[in-house]
C-alpha cells in the first residue's frame, strides 16, 4: 500500500470578482475587469502576460504534491480568494497488462 496522495483546491473567489446572478450567461463566472484592491502591475507582469489586466492564477485539477497545492492556495488567498485544500485517499497502483506488446525503440533499453 502506498501513502501517495493527490491534492485539489476548492476555490471561492471574492463575490465582487464574479458576474452577478442577473447576468444569466455569465452568472458565477469571473469578471475580466476585476482586480484586487491596490492592484498595480509592474513591468515584469506586463512583459510576461502582455497586459495590465489582472489575470487569476490558474488552478489545476489535481496537484501531485502538497507543497505545490499549498503554494497555489497561498497565492490565490493573497488575492482575497478563500481556498480549501482537499486530499485524496491514499493512492495504490497495480500493474496492468497491455492490450498489445510494447514496441522497443531501437538502441534504447526498457
pLDDT in tens, 10-39: 999 999 999 877 666 676 789 999 999 999
**Would the pTM of this model clear 0.85, i.e. be above it?**
no
φ/ψ (deg, to 5) at 85: -95, 125
Phi, psi of 49 (to 5 degrees): -105, -5
Q: Can you tell me which residue has the cell 497502483? A: 93
DSSP classification of residue 15: G
88 falls in which pLDDT band (50, 70, 90)? very high
pLDDT at 51: 96
Cell matching residue 86: 482537499
* Nearest Cα to Cα of residue 87 among 1, 20, 15, 9: 9
91 has which bridge partners?
Answer: 4
Closest to 31 measured CA to CA, from 46, 43, 16? 16
Mean pLDDT (the chain) is 88
Q: What is the Cα–Cα distance from 82 to 93, expressed in whole angstroms?
A: 33
Alpha-carbon torsion (30, 28, 69, 6), positive or negative: negative
Amino acid at each position: 500500500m502506498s501513502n501517495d496522495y493527490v491534492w485539489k483546491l476548492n476555490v471561492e473567489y471574492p463575490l465582487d470578482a464574479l458576474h452577478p446572478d442577473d447576468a444569466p450567461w455569465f452568472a458565477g463566472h469571473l469578471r475580466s475587469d476585476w482586480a484586487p484592491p491596490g492592484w498595480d502591475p509592474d513591468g515584469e507582469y506586463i512583459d510576461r502576460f502582455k497586459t495590465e489586466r489582472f489575470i487569476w492564477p490558474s488552478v489545476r485539477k489535481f496537484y501531485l504534491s502538497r507543497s505545490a497545492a499549498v503554494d497555489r492556495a497561498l497565492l490565490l488567498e493573497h488575492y482575497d480568494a478563500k481556498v480549501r485544500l482537499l486530499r485524496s485517499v491514499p493512492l495504490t497502483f497495480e500493474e496492468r497488462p497491455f492490450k498489445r506488446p510494447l514496441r522497443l525503440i531501437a538502441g534504447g533499453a526498457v
